[in-house]
Chain A
Amino acid sequence: MGRSYVIGEYSEKYLKRLKAEERYGTTGILLGQITPVKTYIVFAARTPLKDHAELPPENPNEMNASDIEWVSEHARQVSRMLPGGILVLGVFLIRPPKMTKEEAHDIFRKLATAVEAAAAKERLWSFTEEEPAERVVLQVYADSKKMKVRAYDLHNPQTPIKMLDCKSSSLTAPWQVVEATINVEVYIPVPASAEQQFDKNSLKGLNSWAKQIMQSTYLINGQFKEPDSLLGEGSKKKLPAEVQFLTAPVPIAEGEVDALIEDCGSSVGVKGTVRCRAYLHGSKSKVKDAIQALKRDVLNTVYIRCEMVFEDQILNKNVGGDSGILKAPHRVFASVLPSGVAFCDYGFSDEGSKELEERYKELLDYELHPAQLDRAEEIMLEELGTEGLQDKDLSKRAGGQYASEGFKYKGVAAAAGVGVIAVAVSVIYFGNFIGESA
């Protein structure tokens, strides 16, 4: 196979440090980009320790199902922090000195596929057939300078793939950025038979909206560009490209006579503006790849915000009753790598940067400096948006906190303070609730 693997400076240094600290058995995830020919690893982050600060087993063979689940959950949380074009590529392992070659094949395969399955849960889109469907396990050898990659084919995890070398490259040259601002307005009907309110299944109703986004047409910097043309037009200078999306031409259905009218028990309305971003490596990226990465980012960011609001509601047991308009958090980018590739997280405008810093430390093992934060959305919305909180029923929420099961990071405070709305999620119920008192 012609595929080669490139590891960037940051990741290489990080892994070498872990090795030097003799943290054998440490696992973690790898982040980067898969292009048709190469896989670029731009970032690595160790799996956070479990609650009781238990060290991972030195020999990966001793990893059990709950360990694998832990690693996967980490991957899922991190996948929420990724901009377009960047994926969870797989896992790494700091190999203990005495480990033999044949060991832990099974575990590696499970790790690679489990991590992908976890990341896939956050997606409203799937990979196309042309895209290489592989994930990797990178092994850092204790007793040598080698780093080897074993790649697993997601469609056929059992097929043996040979071990490959990882090439080093600084990967500090700037990556191409494409950005867009999208207005979202979707109404999802929830059937009267839906058992649990705030059921994540309701979010499946976003699928038809997701399809429309993926099919939409685009303009780059105000101009039409052929999908197969080069994004940067071959020039070395990589200026951020601003993309506009337009609704896809809808074919008029022949033979359709009546409107669709169906009953529902409640509905979920998602409305607001989101800022999206995707990164592309090199100067040879095609317009169609950039657009695809950006569109996927649109879907990711909307889905994640809705999910976070839902999770919070479930956690705070607001599952019956009318919850009024719920605000979803803004997206905050943080430029972490010299190449400009930024990760993101979600928070509210009145939140300080402390919580974000804690999260970056826990999930990405990275010391974030407040100056690195790019509150693009909030700034834009302050300039262009209005507050327009007309509804008198807006309930003030008593500062619930988002928390997740695996990682106890201090979540986003869902304060009903005055702020500009990024995404408002309104959920209306019917059913057999008897008032709001729980």
Chain B
Amino acid sequence: MVPLDTDDLLFRIRGGLYLDGILNKTDENGIKGGMSEAIKNLIAKVNSQSFVLFGWESSLYVWPKSHSNTLPTELQEDSTCKSILKLVPIEVNDYLKRIPARKSVKIKPLKVVNLELLFELTRPDVFEIVTIHNDKNSRIHFRLILPVDVVVFANPEDEWGQLQEQFVKAVSAQLYEMDQCIQRFTKGKSVPIPQAFHFELPESNALTTVIYPAGYTEKDLEPLRKELHHKFSLQDKPYLRRSMAYSFPNDDLSNKYLKTIHKYIPSPSSDEFQVFVVYGSYTFHHYLQDDINDGGWGCAYRTLQTILSWYNHQGYINVPIPTHEKIQKILVTAGDKGPSIVGSTDWIGSFEIRSVLNSFGITSKIMNIRAGSELVLAARELAEHFEVQGTPVMVGGEPLAHTLLGVAWNEETGAVKFLVLDAHYTGEDDWASVIDKAIEWKDEDFWDPLEPYNLCLPQRPQGV
């Protein structure tokens, strides 16, 4: 996983590269061959002096192959990479630094340098004559834009001269992989556009980029993912579903909901505790969000929204987060509630949560706890839930519902801690306030010892 505390710079190179040409053959192999040829030419261009990188919103143009640039006094071959920070605006989530230190893990947000990929039209290289295809078969014109998106990690002290070589290699490698994708997935005259996705993998501090063909469902791509899981020695949990792609700082900044906030607070010490937390990403939903005034009654609805966001982010469903009213309508359609619930401020419980999840094709288990004091006995089962299913859990009591994201269990003392995401939070959606007030590892006494609780444990579908 990309560490939250990192000095690293991430250079992100993006650009739409035109592939435009004429083919002799019209059969599938002919088309595949033609595409391969065109991409080979593109790779040659990337390795030539006409390959240019441009720093977004700056006046810096770089020719990696000739090691020159438009700001030579500021950026030389032996300059360190961090020199570039003065020349190109950085993409970074500075808000993370405002999280109160006492509550958070050490955070040094990742700095991203965005570069655009261009070709120079004006540098005369060696000319070659167009070869003639004296082929009497009908011909094909193809055009597509390859959406190149390459990430290169660098240490700020790395030498700029070296880094330029890496850029060329990385872009070439991605183009080659895009060709592989086209070769594998072209059927007849249908050539899917290869798209790049970046993922965090458990054993790596950097991002892993996978090329997927556009227009295919997650289900269609499961065989490919299985191969990749094998290649990267990944467990039988989803890592490479496209919706799980890494959120860059600007993605986080432009999202109105906060994502996966529990990662910003420290877990109970692993010397003492075995920790089991929710897997993957989710967004945090709570009282008063989206201008809905549900203070006092909407906590179960909000927990449900958080749970659905988990399924969205892991790519099992793709739905807009339903409003309270939409949720109520679903319950009416499912026959669980009468029509009077729609537009009301009625509470819902774990059974209703299960019912709504069901309408989206998600199954869940219900766990009954007779009294809050017995919740610790369920620790083992909850641990297994987070380990295997990895989904957020709804804990429904009278009158409050909570979102449970993890358990930690001290084998020796038998103490149990619960990672609680507070759906009753009424503040703003900014990292500092939310992490300060809405997420915490609670002790056993957090639960009302006498009240019964019903838990809804959503199940994760099989496969990756």
**Do B215 and A258 touch (CB < 8 A)?**
yes
> Roughly how many angstroms separate A421 CA and B126 CA in the complex, as a whole number?
12
Give the docked Cα–Cα distance between A262 and B141 (Å): 5
- Among A183, A261, A324, A384, which residue has its beta carbon within 8 angstroms of that of B132? A324
Among A130-138, A269-277, A366-374, the one that faces the other chain is A269-277
A250 at the interface (CB under 8 A from B): yes
- Contacts of B450 on A, CB cut-off 8 Å? none
Bound CA span A192–B224, Å: 39
> Contact partner of B214 among A217, A257, A267, A325, CB < 8 A?
A257
A255 to chain B, nearest CB (A): 9
- Complex formed: what's the CA distance from A180 to B26 in Å? 38
Q: A183: which of B15, B121, B135, B136 is its contact (CB, 8 Å)? A: B121
Q: Does A379 contact B (CB under 8 A)?
A: no
The CA-CA distance from A272 to B126 in the complex, in Å, is 10
* Max count, chain B CB within 10 A of own CB: residue among A182, A252, A262, A388: A252
Residue B22 at the chain A interface, CB threshold 8 Å:
yes
Shortest Cβ gap from B182 to chain A (Å): 8
Nearest Cβ on chain B to A336's Cβ, whole angstroms:
26
A284-315: contact bitstring with B at CB < 8 Å (1 yes, 0 no)? 00000000000000000000000000000000
Asked if residues A262 and B129 are in contact (CB atoms below 8 Å), the reply is: no
The answer, yes or no, to whether A247 is at the interface (CB within 8 Å) is yes
Binary contact readout B336-348 vs A (1 if CB under 8 angstroms, 0 otherwise): 0000000000000
B116 at the interface (CB under 8 A from A): yes
Is B191 part of the contact surface with A, judged by Cβ < 8 Å? yes
A428:B134 contact, CB within 8 angstroms = yes
Q: How far is the CA of A320 from the CA of B379 in the complex (A)?
A: 84
Complex Cα–Cα for A262 and B130 (A): 21
Write out the residue numbers on chain B whose beta carbons fall within 8 Å of the beta carbon of A213.
Answer: 121
Chain A residues with CB below 8 A from B133, complex form:
428
Contacts A224-B61, A263-B26, A393-B134 given; does A258 touch B191 at CB 8 Å: yes
Q: Mark B138-175, 1 if CB is under 8 A from A, else 0.
A: 11111111010000000000000000000000000000
CA distance A267 to B26 in the complex (A): 15
Instruction: Assess the B192–A262 pair: CB atoms within 8 A.
Output: no
With A428-B132, A428-B133 given, is the CB distance from A264 to B141 under 8 Å?
A: yes
The residue from B50, B136, B140 contacting A430, defined by CB atoms under 8 A apart: B136
Report if A245-B127 is in contact (Cβ < 8 Å); known contacts: A261-B189, A263-B138.
Answer: no
The bracket for how many chain B residues form the interface is: 35 or more
Q: How far is the CB of A253 from chain B (nearest CB, A)?
A: 7
Smallest beta-carbon distance B248→chain A, Å: 15
Shortest C-beta distance, A431 to chain B (Å), equals 10
Does B124 sit within 8 A of A, measured CB to CB? yes
Does B129 lie within 8 Å of A224, measured CB to CB? no
* Measured CA separation A428–B134 after assembly (Å): 7
The reply on A97 being an interface residue by CB < 8 A is no
Contact count A vs B, C-beta below 8 Å: 171
Q: How far is the CB of A320 from chain B (nearest CB, A)?
A: 13
Q: Given A244-B122, A252-B16, A421-B127, A391–B132 Cβ distance below 8 Å?
A: yes
- The listed residue (A262, A380, A421) touching B140 by CB distance below 8 A is A262
By a CB distance below 8 angstroms, the chain A residues around B122 are: 180-183, 243-246
Rounded to whole Å, the gap between the CB of A295 and the closest CB of chain B is 11
Assess the B214–A187 pair: CB atoms within 8 A.
Answer: no
A216 at interface, CB cutoff 8 A: yes
CA distance A256 to B35 in the complex (A): 18
Query: Which A residues touch B26, using CB under 8 A?
Result: 263
In the complex, what residue of chain A is closest to B182 when comparing beta carbons? A259
Question: In the complex, which residue of chain B has the Cβ closest to the Cβ of A226?
Answer: B59
The closest CB in chain A to the CB of B18 belongs to A250
Bound Cα distance A322, B131 (Å): 13
Which residues from B are CB-within-8-Å of A246? 52, 54, 61, 118-122
Chain B positions within 8 Å of A428 at CB level: 132-135
Cβ-defined contact, A250 with B16, below 8 A: yes
A264 touches which of B22, B127, B134 (Cβ 8 Å): B22
Q: Determine whether the beta carbon of B118 is less than 8 Å from that of A247.
A: yes
Q: Is there contact, CB below 8 Å, between A250 and B15? A: yes
Asked if residues B142 and A245 are in contact (CB atoms below 8 Å), the reply is: no
B116 and A421 form a contact (CB under 8 A): no
Contact assessment for A424 and B130 in the assembled complex, using a CB-CB cutoff below 8 Å: yes
Q: Which residue of A lies closest to B186 (CB)?
A: A259
B193: CB under 8 A from chain A?
yes
Q: How far is the CA of A391 from the CA of B192 in the complex (A)?
A: 34
A385 / chain B contacts, CB cutoff of 8 Å: 124, 126-127
Q: Which of A259, A426, A430 contacts B130 (CB 8 A)?
A: A426
User: Is A266 at the interface (CB under 8 A from chain B)?
Assistant: yes
Q: Is B254 an interface residue (CB 8 A)?
A: no
Instruction: Name the B residues within 8 Å of A324 (CB-CB).
Output: 132
Contacts of B17 in A (CB 8 A): 250
Nearest CB on B from A305, distance (A) = 15
Cα distance A380–B191 in the bound complex, in angstroms: 41
Judged by a CB distance under 8 angstroms, whether A234 is at the interface is: no
Least CB distance, A210 to chain B, in whole angstroms: 13
In the complex, A222 has a CB within 8 A of chain B: yes
Q: Is A249's CB under 8 angstroms from B214's CB?
A: no
Evaluate contact between A258 and B132: CB separation under 8 angstroms.
no
Q: Which of B15, B122, B136 has the most CB of A within 10 A?
A: B122
Query: What is the CA–CA distance of A124 and B70 in the complex, to the nearest angstrom?
Result: 32
B54 contacts which chain A residues (CB < 8 A)? 217, 246, 249
In-complex Cβ contact of A266 among B19, B139, B143 (8 A): B139
Contact of A322 among B134, B140, B189 (CB under 8 A): B134
Which residue in chain A gives the minimum CB-CB distance to B191? A259
Say whether A223 faces chain B, with CB atoms less than 8 Å apart. yes
Is residue A189 within 8 Å, beta carbon to beta carbon, of the partner chain? Answer: yes
13 A-B pairs (CB sep. < 8 Å):
A182-B121, A183-B124, A192-B138, A247-B18, A250-B145, A253-B145, A256-B214, A259-B35, A263-B141, A271-B130, A322-B134, A390-B131, A393-B132
- A interface vs B, CB < 8 Å? 180-183, 187, 189, 192, 212-213, 216-217, 219, 222-224, 243-247, 249-253, 256-267, 269, 271-273, 322, 324-325, 380-381, 384-386, 388-391, 393, 420-421, 424, 426, 428, 430
Residues of B within 8 A of A (CB): 15-22, 26, 31, 35, 50, 52, 54, 59, 61, 70, 116, 118-136, 138-145, 147, 189-193, 214-215
Q: A267-B141, A384-B124, A430-B136 are in contact. List 18 more A-B contacts (CB 8 A).
A: A180-B122, A181-B123, A182-B121, A183-B122, A183-B124, A213-B121, A216-B121, A217-B118, A219-B61, A246-B121, A253-B145, A256-B145, A257-B192, A258-B214, A272-B127, A386-B126, A421-B127, A426-B132
**Which 8 pairs of residues, A with B, have the shortest CB-CB distance?**
A250-B16, A189-B141, A259-B144, A257-B215, A259-B191, A224-B59, A252-B147, A244-B122
